[in-house]
Structure 1
């Protein structure tokens, strides 16, 4: 497991908290754009409250075009973000119900192609 957090204080907290519960992921204290080489190609990429969907697809494209899938937690306006993404990207999309918040959704994105 790899975690990417650009804020060094938050990254240090993640290391401390995860060590406390016995999980040992690799925490990368850098921006996602600077983490591609350090991580390789993951199976799954997740993000929550990071950016609008078009930018999330752009940021994760290096992994998604190598076969990774993305799971993005989105709120009420997700349909607008999906529509906006369609202006720049073609991609496969599966919508998963959010079990905690009925107004939210988990978007599974794969196979992006720039238009």
Structure 2
């Protein structure tokens, strides 16, 4: 049985993120949070201190990404860890025909959590338990969005996702208060086509939407 308090929290998180969710999507989010709480002590999926504010700190923060590319169906999440944002995106995209979220996570313990959570939630997720470079390097087929949250500096995210960006994917990279510094550093190596969107969950944070990146001539 789902927790009534979590049901209300899920609806509040969706409203904060600007996402309209069905009852089924709400229930998938509640299921995810229950699994996260259960697995976190053994798998260290998120910082334990953040669980007290999980609905804002993690769920709403990830849900807002869906609004930036609303037509997306094929989504690749790099360094998925505990499924943030991959599993949260999948909870929304589950009602979209043909949607598929690919979660790339090299750590086997976290990949096991991703598989089990996707199964229990009933979401369209493929887990790639391999290095990002290996998965992206052999990728074939269209991708609408490539994302990464709390994974690496922007300059490294551009490098890791470059092949997908060149094929037409949009990059979505949530960043904190150092986003300006990260953009300056990345601009030394890449000519970037970016839009910064204020985060709904943190006034100092921004979401970097990247629609193109070309190497700066040496």
Matches within 5 A, 1:24-103: 24-36=124-136, 37-38=138-139, 40-103=141-204
Separation in structure 2 between the aligned mates of residue 105 and residue 58 of structure 1, nearest angstrom = 20
Shift of 1:45: 0.4
More strand by share: 1
Larger radius of gyration: 2
Separation in structure 2 between the aligned mates of residue 54 and residue 69 of structure 1, nearest angstrom = 16
Helix, strand or coil for the counterpart of 1:45? strand
Paired residues, number: 115
In the superposition, the TM-score normalised over structure 1's length comes to: 0.94
The aligned counterpart of 1:12 is: 112
Q: Runs of 5+ in structure 1 lacking a partner? A: none
Helix, strand or coil for the counterpart of 1:64? helix
The aligned counterpart of 2:39 is: none
Q: Note the aligned Cα RMSD (angstroms).
A: 1.1
Shift of 1:24: 3.0
More relative contact order, 1 or 2 (CA 8 Å, 6+ apart): 1
Distance 1:8 1:109, change over 3 A: same
More helix by share: 2
